[in-house]
């Protein structure tokens, strides 16, 4: 049933209710209210044979009750139907405010933990500064040595690439012939203290380089040991003095960078040397 049907049913329901009142009063032979006989002052007639509900054009009590119930139902639907003409403005339900749970503040760290954390931070800073100083010192030393070598190359006019060509076979095979060839070249070119210093410095740079592997260092140590031995025998003081300046960094770098098994190989080379500087080192 639609809204228009509801509008049409409202007056009919009222009419049915009035007719039911008239029918009931006629059935009990009671006079109707004076409002029923508007404009008349004559007494209310008594009807012996009251007309039936069908003759009066009204519904029976059961039908009237059914119609009234349907109308009441539609009226109830109109009150809650947003599309109806008369919309009842219902207030929205009250929202209950939810209080968020309180987060407890973080517990303060004990004083001992704060002290330990501060000490650890201080140690990390000291280690970082120490590493930074070591890197700066190494870079400064390498730069000073490179500048010194460039100066000696200009003064001596020595072709150092010839020495590199003789060092490569020693690095690869480390045979007696290769070591002897390198030793003879160094003795033949040890003409002045500057020549000897340049050869010793170049040999040290090859051994202490970061990219140098253990075999390169060990084989060039064999060469250094052989040259030192012949310097003692032939009284080559300039070359001996130049090599004694670089023998400590050569052996330290080679010895400390490897495990114990390889350290023993370096120790055997130094212990067999006749040079006193090598024996004092290990």
Each residue's pLDDT expressed in tens, for the chain with a length of 282 residues: 554 555 565 555 555 555 555 455 554 444 545 444 444 455 545 445 555 555 545 455 555 545 555 444 444 544 445 454 445 556 666 666 676 777 766 666 688 888 889 999 999 999 999 999 988 988 888 888 888 889 999 999 999 999 999 999 999 999 999 999 999 999 999 999 999 999 999 999 999 888 889 999 999 999 998 999 899 888 899 999 999 889 888 888 888 888 888 888 888 876 655 444 444 344
CB atoms inside a 10 Å sphere around CB 219: 21
DSSP per position, 64-132: HHHHHHHHHHHHHHHHH-TTSSS---PPPPPPPPPPPPPPPPPPPPPHHHHHHHHHHHHHHHHHHHHHH
Give yes or no for a contact between 263 and 255, defined as CB atoms under 8 angstroms apart: yes
Q: What is the pLDDT of residue 107?
A: 65
The pTM is what?
Answer: 0.53
Cα–Cα dist 32/45, whole Å: 10
Nearest to 7 by CA among 65, 82, 78, 83: 78
Q: What is the pLDDT of residue 69?
A: 53
Take residue 134 and report the two structure tokens written for it. Answer: 């070591």
First-to-last alpha carbon distance for the chain, in angstroms, is: 115
Domains of the chain: 3-35+44-80 (no CATH), 140-281 (1.25.40)
């Amino acid at each position: 049933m639609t809204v228009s049907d509801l509008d049409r049913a409202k007056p009919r329901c009222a009419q049915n209710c009035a007719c039911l009142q008239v029918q009931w009063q006629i059935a009990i032979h009671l006079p109707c209210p004076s409002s029923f006989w508007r404009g008349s002052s004559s007494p209310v007639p008594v009807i012996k044979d009251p007309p039936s509900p069908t003759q009066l054009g009204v519904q029976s009590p059961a039908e009237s009750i059914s119609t009234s119930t349907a109308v009441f139902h539609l009226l109830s639907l109109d009150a809650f139907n947003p599309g109806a003409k008369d919309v009842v403005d219902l207030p929205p339900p009250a929202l209950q405010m939810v209080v968020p749970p309180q987060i407890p503040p973080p517990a303060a760290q004990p004083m001992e933990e704060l002290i330990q954390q501060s000490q650890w931070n201080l140690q990390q800073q000291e280690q970082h500064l120490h590493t930074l100083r070591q890197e700066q010192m190494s870079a400064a030393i390498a730069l000073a040595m490179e500048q010194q070598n460039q100066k000696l190359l200009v003064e001596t006019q020595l072709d150092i690439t010839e020495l590199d060509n003789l060092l490569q076979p020693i690095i690869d095979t480390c045979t007696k012939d290769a070591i002897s060839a390198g030793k003879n070249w160094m003795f033949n070119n040890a003409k002045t203290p500057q020549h000897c210093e340049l050869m010793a410095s170049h040999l040290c740079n090859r051994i202490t380089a970061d990219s140098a592997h253990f075999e390169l260092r060990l084989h060039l140590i064999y060469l250094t040991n052989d040259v030192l031995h012949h310097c003692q025998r032939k009284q080559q003081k300039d070359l001996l003095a130049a090599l004694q300046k670089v023998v400590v960094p050569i052996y330290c770098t080679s010895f400390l960078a490897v495990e114990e098994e390889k350290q023993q190989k370096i120790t055997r080379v130094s212990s067999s040397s006749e040079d006193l500087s090598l024996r004092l080192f290990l």
